[in-house]
């Protein structure tokens, strides 16, 4: 059975960065419009089933209202806590049900929770958050069509790369035990007060990022705008920041650390991280921010390492997936009818 999962976060795009910066606002009605177009795309290619995480705003239910969906479309039977645990549990449940693709509407935090539960199930992340490095702005119709192609494919572990790429991530290891992951960056943040979203760079002492190219906005932008030449193999970057520009051996870089906020940041040192290597958190007590949100307190004397892992979540390449669908005949109505409910081979790519 071909199954597409949907996780839409009604809280994404509503944090403190609306006040302290100029973050994008994506209201519920626009999320519903995106979802509605996405459902039309999924349904057009004859997917058997659609399941979604029920949420407090009823986003997917409202989007599906009035649509004539041929698929078995309904919410997951899941208890809701209105926390990130809902997203992680829904992704794990969709994985266990054999979902071919999980579409995630939200920001970096929503995608991180989904990635923790999805395992090897490909994610299709759509940005509806404040300041995102992991999900991208993707037109809803195309996202739905791509998700349907992926769900109908025969791709297994060997040929998943036909339509998806495996992204690196960072593993947080406390006292030798893995406790969490981050999709984009981890920062050590002095102090434990204030809002959950991190935006005060003068409090950041260490930054570890899987991104180190220009084009990123947020804390990982510091790595991207240093102008470094990365190693030939996939690598992360560990950066030590100085509290002021007068630190010995330091250099400054202008970085877009939040929407509409470009500030000079003082970098004291940096080191490349290859697969399996890490950096110890040196400044405690502190709070670790994972993908921009303060999550993990580090007490004095606690041993916490952040390790670069090149084998993180699988992410759908929308253009490649659509190409796969064309080559597999899904966009030819006569072939589509003949193929249903059979799946499409990835051999064409």
pLDDT in tens, the chain (349 residues): 899 999 999 876 544 444 445 555 678 899 999 999 999 999 999 999 999 999 889 999 999 999 999 899 999 999 889 889 999 999 999 999 999 999 999 999 999 999 999 999 999 999 986 667 888 889 999 999 999 999 998 655 557 889 999 999 999 999 999 999 999 999 998 865 444 555 567 788 999 999 998 888 888 899 999 999 989 999 999 999 987 666 567 889 999 988 888 999 999 999 999 999 999 999 889 999 999 887 799 999 999 999 999 999 999 999 999 999 999 899 998 877 766 554 555 544 3
Instruction: List alpha helices for 47-83, DSSP H.
Output: 59-64
How far apart are alpha carbons 184 and 2 in whole angstroms?
A: 30
Segment 73-82 long-range contacts (CB within 8 Å, at least 24 positions apart) = 73/39, 73/49, 74/50, 75/51, 76/51, 76/52, 78/53, 78/54, 80/54, 80/55, 80/56, 82/56
For 32, the enclosing helix (H) or strand (E) is helix 28-44
How far apart are alpha carbons 131 and 22 in whole angstroms?
A: 10
How far apart are alpha carbons 103 and 33 in whole angstroms?
A: 15
How far apart are alpha carbons 300 and 331 in whole angstroms?
A: 59
pTM: 0.89
Which 8-state DSSP code applies to residue 133?
S
- The length of the chain, given as a count of residues: 349
**Where do the domains of the chain lie, and which CATH numbers do they carry?**
3-167+313-348 (3.40.50), 169-309 (2.60.200)
Q: Where are the beta strands (DSSP E) in 20-146?
A: 49-52, 72-75, 101-106, 123-127
User: If we measure between CA atoms, which residue out of 291, 314, 289, 293 comes closest to residue 304?
Assistant: 289
How far apart are alpha carbons 148 and 101 in whole angstroms?
A: 8
What is the DSSP secondary-structure string of 161-179?
Answer: GGTEEEPPEEEEEETTEEE
Cα 177–Cα 181–Cα 184 angle in degrees, nearest 5? 145
């Amino acid at each position: 059975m071909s199954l597409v999962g949907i996780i839409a976060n009604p809280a994404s795009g509503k944090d403190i960065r609306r006040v302290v910066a100029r973050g994008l606002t994506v209201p519920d009605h626009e999320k519903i419009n995106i979802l509605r177009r996405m459902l039309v795309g999924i349904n057009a290619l004859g997917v058997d089933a659609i399941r979604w995480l029920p949420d407090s705003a009823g986003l997917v239910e409202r989007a599906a209202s009035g649509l004539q969906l041929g698929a078995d479309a309904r919410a997951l039977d899941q208890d809701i806590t209105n926390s990130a645990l809902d997203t992680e549990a829904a992704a794990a449940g969709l994985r266990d049900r054999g979902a071919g693709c999980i579409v995630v509407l939200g920001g970096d935090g929503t995608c991180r929770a989904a990635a923790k539960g999805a395992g090897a199930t490909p994610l299709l992340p759509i940005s509806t958050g404040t300041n995102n490095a992991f999900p991208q702005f993707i037109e809803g119709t195309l996202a739905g069509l791509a998700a349907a192609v992926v769900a109908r494919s025969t791709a297994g572990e060997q040929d998943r790369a036909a339509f998806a790429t495996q992204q690196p991530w960072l593993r947080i290891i406390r006292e030798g035990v893995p406790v969490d992951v981050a999709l984009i960056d981890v920062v050590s943040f002095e102090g434990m007060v204030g809002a959950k979203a991190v935006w005060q760079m003068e409090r950041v002492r260490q930054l570890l990022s899987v991104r180190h190219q220009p084009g990123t906005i947020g804390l990982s932008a510091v790595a991207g705008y240093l102008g470094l030449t990365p190693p030939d193999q996939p690598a992360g970057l560990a950066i030590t920041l100085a509290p002021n520009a007068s630190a010995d051996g330091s250099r400054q870089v202008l970085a877009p650390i939040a929407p509409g906020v470009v500030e000079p940041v003082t970098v004291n040192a940096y080191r490349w991280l290859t697969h399996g290597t890490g950096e110890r958190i040196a400044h405690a007590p502190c709070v670790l921010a994972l993908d921009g949100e303060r999550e993990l307190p580090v007490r004095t004397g606690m041993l916490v390492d952040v390790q670069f892992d090149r084998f993180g979540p699988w992410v759908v390449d929308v253009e490649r997936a659509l190409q796969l669908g064309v080559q597999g005949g899904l966009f030819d109505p006569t072939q589509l009818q003949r193929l249903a409910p059979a799946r499409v081979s990835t051999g064409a790519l």
